[in-house]
Amino acid sequence: MTDVVAAALDSTPVVGIIRLPDASGAVAAAEALWRGGVHAVEVTLTTRGAADAIRALRDREQGPGVIGAGSVRTEADAREAIAAGARFLVTPTFRPAVLDAARAEGVPVMCGGLTPTELDSAAQAGADYLKLFPASAVGPGYLRELLAPMPDLRIIPTGGIGADDVATWAAAGAHAVAAGSALVSAELVARQDWAELTARAERFARSWPR
């Protein structure tokens, strides 16, 4: 499974985050992001009905598009998401039990942290990627300083990132970026404006320097 996630991020180093009150529009939203070139998409477990949406999207994956689960905080969350077909898990914090459950099934984890100790500890424990969260609280300069002594860390800044910020984070050494409300808003989903979601995805995808 790790290979398909790596391929999705190699193709477009952007993770789309779908966090909604409920999952009624999550499938269509994810497909809109895939069409726009954002291939790694997570549905957060804070979204009511997330497991059902992940299950449906696993059956509808398109090309390099893959579906994952976000806001995974416990071993039970991890098992539920994996059973639903999540290709990858994203955590807001460093939770060894989540890593252990995912690694037992060969599912990669983007493990959350903010401090150098948290991020390096997660990497040493086996996290495939590191989610710098909340990235908006520290900025690209912080990432650049983190990577100076630890250049091997594959860090994905998350939180408050817009399309105009992508190139700056990439220049600071980000492996990829993740975007939530700037990419998928509840308002657009409620209006079923899938064309706008696709356009936003295209803008994020174009913003990563090649």
Domain boundaries, the chain: 2-109+162-168+176-207
Fold assignment, 2-109+162-168+176-207: TIM Barrel (3.20.20)
Torsion angle defined by CA atoms of residues 62, 6, 142 and 163, in that order, rounded to the nearest 10 degrees: -20
Q: Is 125 helix (H, G, I), strand (E, B) or coil?
A: helix
| Cα separations in angstroms, 47 against 23, 72, 107, 138, 157 | 6, 12, 21, 27, 21
pLDDT at 63: 84
C-alpha 200/C-alpha 210 separation (Å) is 18
Neighbours of 63 (CB within 10 A): 11
- Burial string for 92-116 (b: 16+ CB within 10 Å, else e) reads bebbeebbebbbeeebbbbbbbbee
pLDDT at 1: 46
Token representation of residue 55: 């299950």
pLDDT at 92: 97
Cα radius of gyration (the chain): 15
pLDDT at 2: 59
Instruction: Tell which residue, 154, 148, 200, 146, has the closest CA to residue 177.
Output: 154
Low-confidence ranges of the chain (pLDDT < 70): 1-2
To the nearest 10 degrees (0 to 180), the angle between helices 26-35 and 50-58 is 40
Please tell me what DSSP assigns to residue 153: -
pLDDT at 62: 78
Instruction: Tell which residue, 9, 14, 69, has the closest CA to residue 204.
Output: 14
Neighbours of 204 (CB within 10 A): 26
Q: Which of the residues are catalytic?
A: 42, 131
